[in-house]
Amino acid sequence: MITARTITGPLSAVALLACGDNTPMPPPVTGNLRLVPVVTSGLVSPLYLTAPPGDVQRLFIVEQGGTIRVVQNGALLPTPFLDITDRVVSGGEQGLLSVAFHPQYATNHYFYVDYTHANAAGDTLYTLIERYTTSADSNLADTATHKLILRITQPEPVASYPNHKGGLVMFGPDGMLYVGMGDGGSGGDPQNRAQNPDSLLGKLLRIDVDGGDPYVNPPNNPYASGGGRGEIWAIGLRNPWRYAFDRTAGLLYIADVGQDAWEEVDVEPTSRGGLNYGWRIMEGAHCYNPNPCAADTTGLGLVLPAVEYPHPDGCAIIGGFVYRGTGSPSLAGQYFYADLCGGWVRSFTYGGGAVTSRTSWTLDRSLGTPLSFGEDASRELYVLADNGTVYRLASP
């Protein structure tokens, strides 16, 4: 599918600098950003933060090892909301990676998790999407209610492919459940899984968990009628960490971790399915696997990033959200992201098919190593660090 920011001819230096059009990127400005401590102790490897729709009193924080913790009225509760450590294979880029609360959670009490799991022999690794139900205690899940929604086999041998599991589950504004899947690991996607429409790896998936048991593929998914797996919404992703919906502007942001040279953020309308984000043909806006990219890009229809940055400015992008909260009005409309190695926080605004501003933020304290972002029910944003600290983003 061709869009305004797809490759439609031989790449020029100007096109690369502009990330796909002839308008130069606006120069970054600097700004001051506060990191307000929310949790300073008691967490181990926090990887995600969210809240059920309308629940403004609580935060739910995913720990990589297999637990979900609750912060209620500012206090971290001692008992986990969910503990499935006995089911989770954790370490590196594996583990319990996210949770998504159903849009009707207040009445059906359903929530969904994404985690890595091994068979009894330990020689086959899977990504599992499971549904759980909250118990009569709203701060405690009923682990006996686990229901398998989707099982995705990861590449073998397991020891050779321990990374690129993606792992974000999130309900979109259309009520569908989206699943971000990495290419399965190793370097360079050696089996070309991200470009293979018969593989669920290296894709953004979209399924309807309300239309069937355990789900159905929406009829407007690009391969719903054949030619590939019906769960696929977009292809060509290396390791989406993470993606986000801006419901106000109707845009989907995908932060895709690069190989050795470039990190990227892709921005497209939420409703636009069937897109190819380029990996492994492209890394960012640059040819990676040169055949056919280096020879001729005409007709490939690959979406170029809205923003990219090179190594060693960072090493692995950490995607966030567009700020739509009310506590810091000056941050409104800005998409925030960070880098695992850089330890910095940046943002940009997007409109009319192009980046309109960029900001490099001066932080009021050291962030350390960022692992993920989160968004609460009031649309306030958080960043989670490897030392177990959770901060809320705020203007000075």
Cis link prior to 280 (omega < 30° from 0)?
yes
CA 62 to mean position of chain CA atoms? 14
Whole-angstrom Cα distance, residue 317 to residue 110? 30
Residue 3 belongs to a domain: no
What's the pLDDT at 25?
Answer: 87
For the residues 174-198, what does the mean pLDDT come to? 96
Residue 87 belongs to a domain: yes
Collapse the DSSP code of 105 into the 3-class scheme (helix H, G, I; strand E, B; otherwise coil) and give the result. Answer: helix
Report the CATH number that the domain containing residue 327 is assigned in CATH.
2.120.10.30
Contact, 338 vs 370, CB < 8 A? Answer: yes
Measuring CA to CA, which residue among 168, 102, 91, 161 is closest to residue 129?
A: 168
- Per-residue pLDDT tens over the stretch 253-293: 999 999 999 999 999 999 999 999 999 999 999 999 988 88
| Banded pLDDT at 20 (limits 50, 70, 90) | very low
Overall number of domains in the chain: 1
For 57-90, b where at least 16 C-beta lie within 10 A, e where not — what string? ebbbbbbbbbbbbbbeeeebeeebbbbbeebbbb
Residue 175 belongs to a domain: yes
- Per-residue pLDDT tens over the stretch 26-79: 999 999 999 999 999 999 999 999 999 999 999 999 999 999 999 999 999 999
Contact, 66 vs 96, CB < 8 A? Answer: yes
Amino acid at 16: L
> Domain span at residue 71?
13-394
Contact, 383 vs 375, CB < 8 A? Answer: no
What's the pLDDT at 297?
Answer: 66
Residue 4 belongs to a domain: no
Residue 76 belongs to a domain: yes
Residue 339 belongs to a domain: yes
Residue 1 belongs to a domain: no
